[in-house]
Amino acid sequence: MKVLANDGISQSGIDTLKNAGFEVIVKKVAQEQLKDYLNENAISVLLVRSATKVRKDIIDNCIHLKVIGRGGVGMDNIDVEYARSKGIAVINTPAASSSSVAELVFAHLFGGVRKLHDSNRNMPLEGDSKFKELKEAYAGGVELRGKTLGIIGFGRIGREVAKIALGVGMRVIASDQNVGEAEITLEFYNDQSIKIPIKTEPVDMLIKDSDFITLHVPAQGKPIIGANEFEKMKDGVGIINAARGGVIDEEALLAAIESGKVSFAALDTYENEPNPAIKLLMNESISLSPHIGAATNEAQERIGVELAEQIISILKKEKA
């Protein structure tokens, strides 16, 4: 059977599939050519990340397709239920990239409270001529220790974020419609560990009490955070979105930054990917990254192997 990894796959994933007898093609096929390519090459398994979309036209017309795999968590680029209704297995890797996303959240958070994202723009331009002025401009940062982090969405990624926050010495509050309480395990050297239970609370309560807010929810039909929610937040709050574009109203975010309600924001995902709004890209109070939450070497290795093992399990069962 043939596997097309249209958005790439780790070498360990390739090796696992090849050892099980699969032919693996790693090639980027343009979206408009994908349907024909899948049919002409009798592709049984299509692997994607967030760039490739798998909609009804592909599902209806690609007769060889047996499995669609998403390397990552969210599957909003796939018509999941429709594919399953047609007998096509749809899989993803919800656990593989949790740590990577959580670490990116804190990369943005540590940088944001010290204005490093803006300092790194201006030091190369004016560091030799305006050192004292820049030193004054970027003074007045704050520490994370003792501050309250609100986590909206307390699944695998949200819990990994909580682990780092607790390790830094932050207070953690969480909100999740499907989780009432979760136990966070902090692991230390020599097999020592501490278990900390965290009860969730409504978003309205979380946003009033948080110094910083980070979102870890699936794609939504409308923003979770808009003008009304910003109004209820503490003055000077920091907000991070490494979940999905559209869970924050970007126009409302810009207005909240302008008014001083939000001291800084960090965005890894955007409403209009791959063409984020210029107003966001040019705003000196926003730390930016190009949807790289899961893009660590370690996460991609885990994703590749996890996808391969699921594919082998599904298709070997089918043969049996």
CA dist., res. 151 & res. 240, Å (int): 10
Marked catalytic residue, from 23, 103, 201, 273? 273
Q: How many CB atoms lie within 10 A of CB 300?
A: 23
Sheet arrangement for strand 148-152:
171-175, 148-152, 212-215, 237-241, 262-267, 286-288
Alpha-carbon 263 to chain mean position: 22
Q: Give dist(CA 313, CA 260) in Å, integer.
A: 53
> Is 273 a known active-site residue?
yes
* Three-state secondary-structure class, residue 200: strand
Q: What is the rounded distance in angstroms from the CA atom of residue 184 to the CA atom of residue 174? A: 12
In contact, 4 and 43? CB cutoff 8 Å: yes
* Beta-strand pair 2-5/237-241: unpaired
291 is catalytic: yes
Residue 12 one-letter amino acid: S
Catalytic pick from 229, 244, 250, 302?
244
Query: Which one from 117, 291, 302, 306 is the annotated catalytic residue?
Result: 291
Q: Which residue, among 245, 242, 250, has the nearest Cα to 295 in the 3D structure?
A: 242
Are residues 199 and 180 in contact, defined by beta-carbon separation less than 8 angstroms?
yes
Q: Which residues are catalytic?
A: 244, 273, 291
